[in-house]
Every structure is written in structure tokens, then in C-alpha cells.
């Protein structure tokens, strides 16, 4: 009972989250001097990439696991982890990982914690650093039972260097215990184009002060197109129904890490800032000079966005020439 | 249809960062002048339950909380919002029990209250934000669980659960009993109770138990740290100096702002 295991869903591909998760797993395994193992759920797609970084890769691609079903997937992961007997099981921060982590810990007799931004072993126990109180404070949490089952803010972790020798890929051969008490019957994607907000390099984001869906449509959208940016929003704008919930950035929304985050009419409550702590540069347009957003900005302008954004588009077009 | 909704009372998460302090020794936030409120996602859960009952008359909603004696206020508010019954487990130990302790206490209270087709909790709380209560209650009760649900409908003897995912949404069909965790959506913004209903709520019965009334290891629950423990809590000092772009007119300011944006983005 000593290895570190990372669990990934094949469908997401080897994205920044998968790379960060692999890096976090590698460093944790190295600190213990134990092998890093990967479990890929759903298909064998990710296995060759992961084999470059892990000692072994277990592919769980039974037909019952091709499409995510919460109960069935949990049964399979419980079975796999019981066989592997790991000391730590790490996941990324996608919907499915967040959903399964505490339940898997319970079934393995371990402890779970989520949204980790740092992980390290202190003697026998895993310690995890995470934001609490809506991003206003940070806590170090010590997991008291083993294994430690943790989901990480995976994109915040540096990737791992490839190993000299490729790892061994095996296929998990076991009877998957299907459970039909719940069943996903429909899946709908509501993303903007093909790209994901978490991977965006420039983000134009609007808050309560935008005042309605029209502001997003007539002002923010053209600005985003001009900057090659993706659109996002604060919780207030999503709750008002102005934009879809998938646009929400913050403590309970997406955690983003763009080069530029342009916050328009967003006050900057700590819950929102918790989602953009990894942004390289934050800039803001806001009418209120006391708005907390300005405490996190590299540069800002005190103005009504309705006046500033049309002008900004003109200036940007002129500068780009 | 018997519905149970768990509610957690927390320190108002809207308290501005400049007024927020932590006690690094006790590893808790200082109360200061902040109000105690019901966690928003718990209220989203209650609102979702109330709307479900409007479409499925005869459904009964029980609100349950585990916390300090002040958590009674959260339950009175739930009654004012028209929950049918309320129960409070008063904790007399660790103020911030770990997620497994919380789940075990709530699961024991749920068993004592009866049988439920639907157990609802908020996706996470605005204080510690662990996001584990729903999943762990499901395991304690041996039930399936669906997370991040924002709408619930009944379809014959089954439930249709719409839930948010990273890239959009999914529809699930569930055979009750089932545990769901609820997230926010434009349709489940909690209603404001009428003043009259708030007054009436104080005349309604409210079940109160202590940890000793439940079929659990009460001493372990009081210690509340066998699963995990907060070993450090601090407020990170991180403030950037904002450069407000210079200019006499808005036109000049926006020009300077545009130049800064081009600087940052031209390398991309």
C-alpha cells in the first residue's frame, strides 16, 4: 500500500488538466520514492501519452464505462483502487471527478478533500492546501485516513518531464458491476465553439453591472471577437439568466488561467476572484473606484462600460493597423 | 414523495475581504460583525424542492440542520418559505466538524426522521466549501447520488434530474430513493418569505435532538476530526497595485487602456 495513482477520463484528452495532474502525481510519487500509476476510464485514447510519464497505465475501457454513469463508474474505480492499494489517489477538477471523490474515499475507508492547489506528505499523512471562505483564506488540511483521495485544481500544477522509458500499458480485466438506479439519458454541450474557457488565453468577462443580456450581446461579444477572447461571466450574471451557467467563473464556476482577464462591470467579490487567481494579468472597467476588483488589477479604468467599450473597440482597431 | 433538504448555517460569505479575519489558533473565521445566514446552495436546494412540490402536490418537505443552536434561524426561515417540517441536531463539540462527521450525523438524523425518496443538499457551503456532504450521506445511507443538479421533475415513478457539467448539462433518470446535490441556476433563486409567514414559522413545531439522541458514536462526532483536520488557516497577503490609466478625457484614458491591452496580448 504505497503507490500514487492518478485517475483520468479518456474523453477529455491530454489537456492542461491531465498534464497538471500527471505533474502533481509525479512529484508526490517521487517524494515517497514510489511508482506513479495511471488509471484511464472510458477508452484507451490517453494511454500512450500517459505511459510517457507513468510507470504503469491501467486502461478501464469495458463497454459499461464508455459513457460515464455515476454509480457504475464508482463501482469500477472502487474495484480498481482496491486492487492497486494506493496511498494517494489524485483526480482533476472536472464534474465527474468532483462527484466521485468523496464517495470513492468512503468506499476505500480513506479520506477525501477537493480543490487542492498544493499536496505533500508530512510523515504518513497527506496535507492539502486549498482556498476556503470563498477564497478569502487558505487552509492546510491533513487527511487522517488512508488512502487519501483528492481532486486538484489540476491546471495550476506544472506538468511532469517525460521518463526515459515508457511505462507499461495494461487493460483492466474485470466484471464491471453495473448499477441502473441512476442513468444519464441525455448529454448536451453548451460550449462556445470548440475551445474551453479553462484553456483560453484571453477572457472578456461581465458582471452584474452589465445590466442585462443585451450588454453581453452588443458590447462584450464584439470586443471578445476582436481580441480573439472567450466570454465569461460572474455568478450574478449567470443567476440572472443573462448568459449560460457554463460561462460562470469563480469559486463554484470555472477556474481559469488566461494571460489577460478583462473584467467588465464586475465588483470582484472574493468568490469571483477565487476563479481567476491564476490569471497572469487582470484588467478592469468599472464605475466604482472602490470596487475590490481594482485591488487585483494590473491596470484599470474608472468608466461606464457602455461608453468605454465602444471607444475601446475603435482604439484597438486603430492600434492593430 | 417525501423530500428531505439539509441546510447549513454559515457566516455570511458576502462579508467584504477587508472585514474578514481568522483566528489562526482555533483555525476558524472570526465572527466579527458578520451575520449568520443559510448557505446559498442549501437555499437553492430548498427552492428546487418547493418548486418540485408545486408540480407534485402531496409531496412533503422536511428541513434538517446540524449545527449550533442558532441554526434554528435557518430552519425557521425554511418553514417560512413553506417547508412542511423541520429538525435540528444541536452540536456541542467541534465547531467545524469534518465532512464525514457531518454526513454521519445527518444520515443518522435522516434515518430517525423516517424514509425519504429524495435527499437534497447544497453542492458546497460558502464557508469551508468541502463539497462532500451529499456524496458521503449517500454512502452512509447506501443510496446513489447525482451532483450539481439544478432541476428536478417527476416522470412516473422516476425522477428526471438535470445537472450542470463542465461543458453543458446532462439529464439523468433516477429511481428513488436518491441523494442529489444542488447548484445555482436562474430558476432556483430562493424565494423571499412573506413577513407573515416568518412570524408564523416561530409557532410551528421544530424537532430538536442532541448528538446523544442519535444512533452514532457521539464522542467521535464531538471530536469531529477522524476524517480530516484543518492544521493551518491563514489569510494570504496578496494585493496588486492597480494602475489607473491616465488621461484628461475618457477618450485619452481609453486610448491608454487600449495600448496596455495590446502590450499584453500582442505576444500571444
A210-261 pLDDT, tens digit per residue, is 999 999 999 999 999 999 999 999 999 999 999 999 999 998 899 998 999 9
* Architecture of the domain made up of B2-223: 3-Layer(aba) Sandwich (3.40)
Listed in sequence order, the DSSP H helices in chain B are 40-55, 72-80, 99-113, 133-141, 195-201, 218-223, 250-266
Closest CA to A7 of A213, A216, A150, A188: A150
Mean pLDDT throughout B65-83?
98
Q: With CB atoms and an 8 Å threshold, state whether A186 touches B171.
A: yes
pLDDT at A192: 65
Residue of A nearest to B176 (CA): A181
What's the sign of the alpha-carbon dihedral B149, B151, B156, B157? Answer: positive
Helix axes B133-141, A95-108, angle to 10 degrees: 40
Closest CA to A110 of A73, A85, A139: A85
Proportion of chain A above pLDDT 90, given as a percent: 90
Collapsing DSSP states into helix, strand and coil, what is residue A17? helix
Confidence of residue B172 (pLDDT cuts 50, 70, 90): very high
**Residues in chain B within 8 Å Cβ distance of A285:** 257
Residue B120: name the closest of B63, B68, B71 by CA: B63
Q: Is residue A1 scored above 60 in pLDDT?
A: no
Of A134, A280, A301, the CB nearest to B126: A134
Q: Which of B145, B248, B262 to mutate to probe the A interface, most A CBs <10 Å?
A: B145
Tell me what the pLDDT averaged over chain B comes to: 95
Is it true that A4-171 and A197-320 share their CATH fold?
A: yes
> pLDDT tens, B94-105?
889 999 999 999
Other C-beta atoms closer than 10 Å to the C-beta of B189 total 15
Interchain contact, A111 vs B227, CB within 8 Å: yes
Chain A residue numbers with beta carbons less than 8 Å from the beta carbon of B11 are: 133
Average pLDDT over residues A134-139: 93
Size of interface A-B (CB pairs under 8 A): 257
Interface contact A295-B239, CB threshold 8 A: yes
Q: What is the pLDDT of residue A186?
A: 97
pLDDT of residue A21: 98
pLDDT of residue A143: 98
- The Cα A108–Cα A87 span in angstroms is 11
Report whether pLDDT(A140) > 90.
Answer: yes
Please compute the mean of the pLDDT values over residues A63-84 and round it to a whole number: 96
pLDDT, one tens digit per residue, over B17-62 is 888 999 999 999 999 889 999 999 999 999 999 999 999 989 999 9
Residue of A113, A262, A301 with shortest CB distance to B244: A301
Which chain A residue has the Cα nearest residue B150?
A245
* pLDDT, chain A, mean: 94
Determine whether A278 is exposed, middle or buried from the number of CB atoms within 10 Å of its CB (0-12, 13-18, 19+): middle
Can you give the pLDDT at residue B241?
A: 84
For residue B48, the model assigns a pLDDT of 98
Contact yes or no for B11/B19 (Cβ under 8 A): no
Task: Map out the domains of chain A as residue ranges.
Answer: 4-171, 197-320
Residues in B touching A189 (Cβ below 8 Å): 167-168
Of B16, B184, B257, the CB nearest to A299: B257
Asked if CATH classification 3.30.1360.120 holds for the domain at A197-320, the reply, yes or no, is: no
Query: What pLDDT shows up at residue A248?
Result: 95
- The CATH classification number of A4-171 equals 3.40.50.620
B41, B231, B240: residue with CB nearest A298: B240
Split at pLDDT 50, 70, 90, the class of A293 is very high
Asked if the model's pLDDT at residue B16 lies above 90, the reply is no
Cβ of A143 within 8 Å of Cβ of B228? The answer is: yes
Helix (H, G, I), strand (E, B) or coil at B157: coil
Residue B203 distance to chain A (closest CA, Å)? 33
Of residues B17, B168, B261, nearest to A292 (C-beta):
B17
Percent residues over pLDDT 70 in chain B = 100
User: In this complex, which of B22, B258, B261 lies closest to A137 when CB atoms are compared?
Assistant: B22
CA distance A94 to chain B (A): 7
Interstrand relation of A299-302 and A281-286 (parallel, antiparallel or unpaired): parallel
Model pLDDT, residue B237 = 79
Average pLDDT score over residue span B260-264: 93
Nearest alpha-carbon partner for A52 in A36, A34, A32: A36
The residue of A78, A96, A102, A259 whose CB has the most chain B CBs within 10 angstroms, and thus the best one to mutate to test that interface, is A102
Amino acid at each position: 500500500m504505497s503507490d500514487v495513482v492518478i485517475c483520468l477520463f479518456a474523453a477529455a484528452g491530454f489537456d492542461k488538466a491531465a498534464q497538471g495532474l500527471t505533474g502533481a502525481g509525479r512529484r508526490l510519487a517521487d517524494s515517497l520514492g514510489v511508482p506513479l500509476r495511471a488509471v484511464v476510464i472510458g477508452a484507451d485514447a490517453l494511454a500512450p501519452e500517459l505511459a510517457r510519464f507513468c510507470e504503469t497505465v491501467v486502461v478501464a475501457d469495458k463497454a459499461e464505462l464508455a459513457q460515464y454513469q455515476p454509480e457504475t463508474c464508482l463501482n469500477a474505480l472502487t474495484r480498481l483502487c482496491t486492487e492497486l492499494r494506493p496511498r494517494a489517489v489524485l483526480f482533476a477538477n472536472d464534474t465527474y471527478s468532483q462527484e466521485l471523490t468523496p464517495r470513492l474515499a468512503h468506499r476505500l475507508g480513506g479520506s477525501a478533500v477537493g480543490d487542492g492547489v498544493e499536496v505533500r506528505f508530512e510523515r504518513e499523512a497527506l496535507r492539502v492546501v486549498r482556498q476556503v471562505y470563498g477564497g478569502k483564506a487558505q487552509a492546510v488540511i491533513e487527511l487522517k485516513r488512508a488512502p487519501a483521495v483528492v481532486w486538484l485544481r489540476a491546471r495550476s500544477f506544472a506538468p511532469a518531464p517525460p521518463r526515459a522509458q515508457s511505462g507499461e500499458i495494461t487493460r483492466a480485466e474485470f466484471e464491471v458491476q453495473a448499477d441502473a438506479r441512476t442513468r444519464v439519458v441525455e448529454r448536451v454541450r453548451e460550449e462556445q465553439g470548440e475551445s474551453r474557457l479553462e484553456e483560453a488565453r484571453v477572457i472578456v468577462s461581465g458582471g452584474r453591472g452589465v445590466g442585462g443580456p443585451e450588454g453581453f450581446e452588443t458590447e462584450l461579444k464584439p470586443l471578445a471577437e476582436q481580441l480573439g477572447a472567450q466570454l465569461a461571466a460572474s455568478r450574478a450574471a449567470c443567476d440572472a439568466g443573462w448568459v449560460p451557467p457554463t460561462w460562470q467563473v469563480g469559486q463554484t464556476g470555472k477556474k481559469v488561467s488566461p494571460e489577460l482577464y478583462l473584467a467588465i462591470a464586475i465588483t470582484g467579490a472574493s468568490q469571483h476572484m477565487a476563479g481567476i487567481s491564476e490569471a497572469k494579468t487582470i484588467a478592469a472597467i468599472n464605475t466604482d473606484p472602490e470596487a475590490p476588483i481594482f485591488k487585483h488589477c494590473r491596470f484599470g479604468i474608472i468608466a461606464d462600460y457602455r461608453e468605454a467599450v465602444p471607444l475601446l473597440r475603435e482604439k484597438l482597431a486603430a492600434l492593430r493597423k | 414523495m417525501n423530500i428531505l433538504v439539509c441546510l447549513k448555517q454559515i457566516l455570511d460569505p458576502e462579508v467584504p475581504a477587508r472585514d474578514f479575519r481568522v483566528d489562526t489558533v482555533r483555525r476558524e473565521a472570526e465572527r466579527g460583525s458578520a451575520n449568520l445566514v443559510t448557505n446559498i446552495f442549501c437555499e437553492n436546494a430548498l427552492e428546487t424542492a418547493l418548486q418540485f412540490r408545486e408540480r407534485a402536490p402531496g409531496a412533503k418537505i422536511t428541513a434538517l440542520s446540524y449545527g449550533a443552536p442558532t441554526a434554528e434561524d435557518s430552519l425557521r426561515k425554511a418553514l417560512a418559505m413553506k417547508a412542511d417540517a423541520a429538525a435540528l441536531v444541536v452540536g456541542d463539540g467541534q465547531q467545524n466538524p469534518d465532512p464525514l462527521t457531518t454526513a454521519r450525523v445527518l444520515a443518522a438524523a435522516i434515518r430517525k426522521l423516517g424514509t425519504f425518496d429524495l435527499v437534497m443538499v447544497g453542492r458546497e457551503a460558502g464557508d469551508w466549501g468541502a463539497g462532500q456532504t451529499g456524496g458521503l450521506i449517500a454512502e452512509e445511507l447506501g443510496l446513489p447520488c447525482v451532483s450539481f443538479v439544478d432541476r428536478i421533475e417527476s416522470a412516473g415513478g422516476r425522477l428526471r434530474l438535470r445537472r450542470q457539467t463542465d461543458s453543458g448539462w446532462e439529464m439523468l433518470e433516477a429511481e428513488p430513493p436518491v441523494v442529489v446535490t444542488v447548484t445555482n441556476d436562474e430558476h432556483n433563486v430562493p424565494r423571499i418569505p412573506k413577513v407573515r409567514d416568518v412570524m408564523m414559522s416561530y409557532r410551528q413545531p421544530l424537532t430538536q435532538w442532541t448528538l446523544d439522541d442519535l444512533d452514532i458514536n457521539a464522542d467521535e462526532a464531538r471530536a469531529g476530526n477522524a476524517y480530516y483536520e484543518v492544521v493551518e488557516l491563514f489569510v494570504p497577503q496578496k494585493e496588486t497595485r492597480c494602475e489607473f490609466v491616465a488621461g484628461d478625457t475618457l477618450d485619452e484614458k481609453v486610448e491608454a487602456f487600449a495600448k496596455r491591452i495590446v502590450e499584453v496580448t500582442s505576444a500571444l
